Chain A
Amino acid sequence: MSADHGNPLPSYMKVFYALLVLTVLTVLAAKSLHFPAEWGTPGDILHVAIGIAIAVVKVIAVMYIFMHLKFDHPFLRFFVYVPVFLFLVLGFALNILESWSYTH
């Protein structure tokens, strides 16, 4: 509960401004940096990596401050960690198998 940890309003506003700035940043990064239009090139990987990195920072801010994960019982964090871990396993497993089947 927000009442248990002092006044949360300043941190809400900080997260809000951070989300706005990071949103603008993600668009600027995607639109101003031009990379070769080929899959799997370092430019493409960097392009995607910047987009994902900014999205992850935004999501952590939303989860920990807006959704109170920072202040609530740590047990609740497992509801995020486990699905994210499973998603990474799913994503990597599918991709490695797919890429392997196309290159071998």
Chain B
Amino acid sequence: MSLALNLSHEPVTKIPNGKLAMWAFLASELMFFSGFFGGFIVLRNTNYEVFAEASNHLNWVLALVNTFILIGSSLTMALAIHNLEHKKNGLYRLFMGLTLLGGFGFLIVKYIEYSAKYADGLFPGQEHHSVFYSFYFIMTGFHAIHVIAGMIPIGYMFFKGFTKAGYPYPSKVETLGLYWHFVDLMWIFIFPALYLLNPSSTGIGH
């Protein structure tokens, strides 16, 4: 056993530093979204009719499409990591590209959704705004910001895959993958909480 100090991972557990830092960051992210959900639960219980009416107005079909897009891009991210670890650069580029495409697709659907909300006067300051829409915009908005923030390094690592040497750091893609899966994970809760869990929910919304 070498006596040289290896700084690439935590000495006792041998967890790579990047992964440890990402998990600590994700723990803080969980608490960040916990605040939204905590407030959402309390206000839902005390403004039930407002929340039920507004939630019924949301377009759950578009949200369902976005759910499938995110699940798909979570899978392609896992496959991209797997292929980079096995030095299959072509497949890495393919799956990383699909992951990036998923991010764009999600944002396009989000744009369509937000445009309809604006046309219906549901934005903060508009006539039909209610407390539910404050949660809707802040939760889906922060989630969309997370998607954009993830797409920047995904794009970088994707385009680096086209260089002669390919992208040389599988562990960095794996760490980024943790973040990308987390974005998917938050949507798994946001989707039913905002779009589905309201009483007598019928129709498609706007």
Q: Which residues of A contact B (CB under 8 A)?
A: 1-3, 8-9, 12-13, 15-16, 19-20, 23, 26-27, 30-31, 34-40, 43-44, 47-48, 51-52, 54-55, 58-59, 62-63, 66-67, 72-73, 75-76, 79-80, 82-84, 86-87, 90-91, 94-95, 98-99, 102
Contact = CB atoms under 8 A, between A and B. Distances in A.
Contacts of B116: none
B152 interface: no
Interface string B59-80: 0100010011001101101110
Chain B interface secondary structure, helix, strand, loop or mixed? helix
B52 to A, nearest CB: 6
Contact of B34 (A36, A37, A51, A86): A86
22 contacts: A3-B85, A3-B86, A8-B78, A19-B74, A27-B196, A35-B199, A35-B200, A39-B45, A39-B48, A55-B191, A55-B192, A62-B184, A66-B74, A66-B78, A76-B20, A79-B23, A79-B26, A80-B30, A87-B31, A94-B38, A98-B46, A102-B46
Contacts of A30: 192, 196-197, 201
B6 interface: no
Interface of B: 13-15, 19-20, 23-24, 26-27, 30-31, 34-35, 37-39, 41-42, 45-46, 48, 52, 60, 64, 67-68, 71-72, 74-75, 77-79, 81-82, 85-86, 174, 177-178, 181-182, 184-185, 188-189, 191-193, 196-197, 199-202
A9 B81 CA distance: 11
B121 to A, nearest CB: 24
Contact of A51 (B14, B72, B79, B196): B196
Nearest to A41: B199
B36 to A, nearest CB: 11
Nearest to B189: A55
Contacts of B26: 79
A87 B52 CA distance: 24
Contact of A26 (B19, B30, B46, B192): B192
Contacts of A15: 75
A31 B189 CA distance: 17
A76 B68 contact: no
A48 to B, nearest CB: 5
Contacts of B86: 3
Given A12-B75, A16-B71, A26-B196, 16 more contacts: A1-B85, A8-B78, A16-B72, A20-B71, A26-B192, A38-B48, A55-B188, A62-B181, A67-B182, A72-B15, A80-B27, A87-B38, A90-B38, A94-B38, A94-B42, A98-B45
B60 A23 contact: no
Given A35-B200, A36-B199, A48-B197, A75 B181 contact: no
